[in-house]
A and B are shown apart, each in its own frame.
Chain A
Amino acid sequence: MRYLGFRLLQSIFLLLGVSLLSFIFVEAAPGNYFDEMRLNPRITNETVAQLRQDYGLNQTLPIRYVHWLSSVSRGELGFSFAYDSPVAPLLWSRARNTLLLTGSSIAMAWLVALPWGILSAAKRKAWIDHASSVIMAILLAAPDVLLALGLLLFAARTRLLPVGGLASLATKSGMWPEVRDVAVHLFGPVLILVLISLPTLVRHVRAAMIEAIDSPCVHAARAHGIPRSRILCRHALPLALNPLISLFALSLGSLLSASLLVEVVMSWPGLGPLLLDAILARDVYVIIGSVMIASLFLIGGMLLGDVLLFLVDPRIRTEGLA
């Protein structure tokens, strides 16, 4: 309990550090949101300068930081120049779509990776294990962009899959067709994300299972003549679970950031396109806001991983208390 409290306190300071450094970074970058207006021949410099002042860009960094902190306490996460609105509602409406995408792809990836990894561990050195490791090696070596673009090309050429978006505009009747419509749109992006994360997951599952199968207690179980499939599920799998749980915690941490590339390529209405827009336009509070949310997930995931490790491994437990 004390360890948990200690780590929580650290995480809060860490979040503060992230926000402060983000502010400093953003401040240091050249240009600001209103620069683009200066290219418009119909807008005078005075108007641009006035807008900068109105949105508080003329204030010093510490003052803006304090303002921002107070807006965080109101749950607004700052103010978007582009949308003339608080950042939090902007982010949440899109984070939902991102979570839908990454959540279902992480679930799918684990659903595939667990049996796959267990199978190739059980049939170690058999042809099926070799074939699987070759497939996984190729998937791992293929750049993510290439996979995403390959799918886009496939969708554009064959028209079997939608080429982007979350839902088509045409279907409007009933709940079931709409759910199916979203599912059809989800398929492509989820497939890519699963393919991207699969090699790592399968490799870890396989390694953990092999270690478990080689452990004395499984040998003992086998000596007792318990059927092989039963050994795998009832004896080996629980043994292999620990490293997998902390891996799962880590993958939760990247829930918000894992899919940005795929979202942009497949026009998924999540955080990716919003963030890309904001980065290019220097809509600074949107960026700081999304950095904060992503850090929250990242730090939360790592915290979860550490806490689980702490609970599982007595060696670390004693260290943490010291």
Chain B
Amino acid sequence: MKPRPCLLNFALLVMLFVLSGPSAFTQPPRSTEDLFISDNPVGRTGGNLVVSLRSEPKTLNPVTSTDVSSREVIAQLTSDMIHINRSSQRTEPAIAKAWKVSANGLQYRLELRHGLRFSDGSAFDADDVVFSFKVYLDEHVHSPQRDTLIVAGKPIVVRKLDQYTISVELSQPYAAAERLFDSVAILPRRLLEPAYNDGKLDQAWGLGTPPQLIAGLGPFRLKSYVPGQSLTLERNPYYWKVDKAGNRLPYLNELTYVFVANADAEAIRFQAGDTDIINRLNADDYSVLEKDEHAGSFHLQDIGSSLEFNFLFFNLNSSLPSQLVRKQIWFRDARFRQAVSLAIDRNAMVRVVYRGRGTPLWTPVTPANNLWVDTSIPHPARSVEDAKKILISAGFVWNAEGVLLDKSNSPVEFTIITSASNAQRVKMATMIQSDLKDLGIQVQVVSLDFHSVLDRIFQTHDYEAAVLGLGAGDVDPSAEMNVWMSSGNDHVWDLGEPHPSTPWEAEIDRLMEEQLSATKRRKRKALYDRVQEILAEQAPIICLASPDILVGAKNEIENFKPAALDPHTLWNSPELFLSSGGSL
């Protein structure tokens, strides 16, 4: 009974061994290619890098993938036309080497790089771009990317002008138009058109697909996949970036992802030296690794605040279970929300939850977003006295035992729900519970599994208050439309209202619409600042804290430039190299 599984694994290992033949030689740059010249220090070719993924990627199909792990791998296999530089947070040319905007802001003319090849060696031209956008925009494919390519209710129109020129038309001027193209992977028409014509595109490029059938314009290409264990990429010999010395990037021979079960396991594997880079450490594990930092062969970096904001919000939905209507009278009172906000000790939260490696928040725009954050928002310190004054002005009183009573003399108490699998948010809720005791408010913390939390927030509206976190994918306010617009999908505290229910919500709607079509950045900033001010005044969500981005890498890795935007570490994978030149 024992030998059988052993043999099977053995066979698997042998197969892996056979599959991994000699790696492809890098193609020397040819004069016919328009290559991107990286301005980073010149490195040495060779070596393998091993990084961990918190869960297994589910697919390698850029059209259908939604989960973080899959998208992280796909980002290494593919390229987009215009890319957001993760470090500068601004757009830069990728496959499109230049672009022009028409005077009315409705038409973009993108010039593609000449002579590029996909990682299987086949040629790339405008037809591939047109095909890619046809796929993303096809309603029957249901690509999650489609939604980002719809501007003012109308899909963008992509046309081929000649073999290396593309025109993109919008129905209305769009401030963040260039940013639309980021992470929209260009697909090889030759490989995917048959599947698309058969209506089976969503099943193409699964993890079981043979590597030679998957190709992209990214720095790496698929080499092998071992279910449950690892996925190995090898250098794309046709990649379109070179360094200053004219060497074709990437420097690394291989990039291997190992799958681990959770964040702690990631830290353990990094500490043991099994992996070379760790992407999103939490503060607890950081404190453990810190002790090994001097002895070990790695260094850790706290690169400051992330874009994730955690917040407390009350159920303000108009359709909700009848037993909650009584409590909603408190929640709807902005003064009640402000008092709660004032009674929360955010600095202690950063200390306890993030071990000091985080930022207290009074606005959803975190300091990481230095282009858009409104620095004039006040940061009032915790004050139970001030909170009590506000509550008195709103008609609340305390009884002899110090319990807060509302106008009808019933005690003020509510329940906060939060996801049990997120220890940090459970901690935040527990601290809020303890903080609000000082106001005479009895709070219960109920931690549920994540899907139950989502179901209550999005479907049944059966909750009183919740702690949740959102991480913006981009710094631009256009990425947040669905959160702040009163009709947005992620307007979590009050979903599905056809009309804004208060004047200030109407104002936010107007400001957000306006900034979207304004083209001057200064104008947009002023509008978005006003949105942040209204949010701080009305406190529909009570912002709590944002974790810092904590990363680590082996000392041998050069050009390591972690950034606030996702993916924090491997975004410049083509430029990473090992000082030893060999494998780690």
Is chain B in direct contact with chain A in the complex (CB below 8 A)?
yes
Task: Show the binding face of A for B, using Cβ within 8 Å.
Answer: 29-32, 35-45, 47, 50-51, 54, 82-85, 89-90, 93-94, 96-97, 99-100, 103-104, 107, 152, 155-156, 159, 162-170, 172, 175, 178-179, 182, 252, 264, 267, 269-270, 272-274, 276-277, 280-282
CA distance A159 to B48 in the complex (A): 22
Q: How many A-B residue pairs have CB under 8 A?
A: 189
The answer on a CB contact under 8 Å between A45 and B9 is no
Given contacts A84-B59, A103-B5, A252-B1, 8 further A-B pairs with CB under 8 A are A38-B489, A83-B207, A85-B203, A90-B227, A273-B228, A280-B421, A280-B451, A281-B451
Jot down 24 A-B pairs with beta carbons below 8 A, ordered by A: A31-B459, A32-B451, A35-B458, A40-B66, A47-B146, A47-B147, A51-B142, A83-B58, A83-B59, A83-B207, A84-B61, A84-B206, A93-B227, A96-B8, A103-B2, A103-B4, A163-B272, A169-B50, A264-B261, A267-B260, A267-B265, A269-B228, A280-B450, A281-B451
The answer on a CB contact under 8 Å between B470 and A104 is no
Q: Residues of B contacting A90 with CB < 8 Å?
A: 227
The answer on a CB contact under 8 Å between A282 and B206 is no
The answer on a CB contact under 8 Å between A277 and B55 is yes
The answer on a CB contact under 8 Å between B451 and A94 is no
The answer on a CB contact under 8 Å between B67 and A182 is no
* 5 closest Cβ pairs, A-B complex: A269-B228, A31-B451, A93-B227, A30-B455, A31-B455
Q: Residues of B contacting A47 with CB < 8 Å?
A: 142, 144, 146-147
Q: Residues of B contacting A38 with CB < 8 Å?
A: 454, 458, 489-490
B311 CB within 8 Å of chain A: no
Q: Residues of A contacting B151 with CB < 8 Å?
A: none
**Distance in Å from the Cβ of A134 to the closest Cβ of chain B?**
31
The answer on a CB contact under 8 Å between A50 and B142 is yes
The answer on a CB contact under 8 Å between A41 and B229 is no
Closest to B421 in A: A280
Which parts of B28-82 form the interface with A (CB within 8 Å)? Answer: 48, 50, 55-56, 58-59, 61, 64, 66-67
B168 CB within 8 Å of chain A: no
Q: Residues of B contacting A276 with CB < 8 Å?
A: 261
A-binding segment of B473-481, B525-533, B567-575 = B473-481
Which parts of B216-234 form the interface with A (CB within 8 Å)? Answer: 226-230
CA distance A272 to B265 in the complex (A): 14
Closest to B491 in A: A41
Contacts A103-B2, A273-B228, A276-B261 known; A39 to B17 CB distance under 8 Å? Answer: no
Interface centre among A31, A32, A51 (most CB of B within 10 A): A31
Q: Residues of B contacting A39 with CB < 8 Å?
A: 454, 470, 490
Contacts A84-B202, A267-B265 known; A162 to B1 CB distance under 8 Å? Answer: no
Q: Residues of A contacting B451 with CB < 8 Å?
A: 29-32, 35-36, 280-282
CA distance A277 to B207 in the complex (A): 17
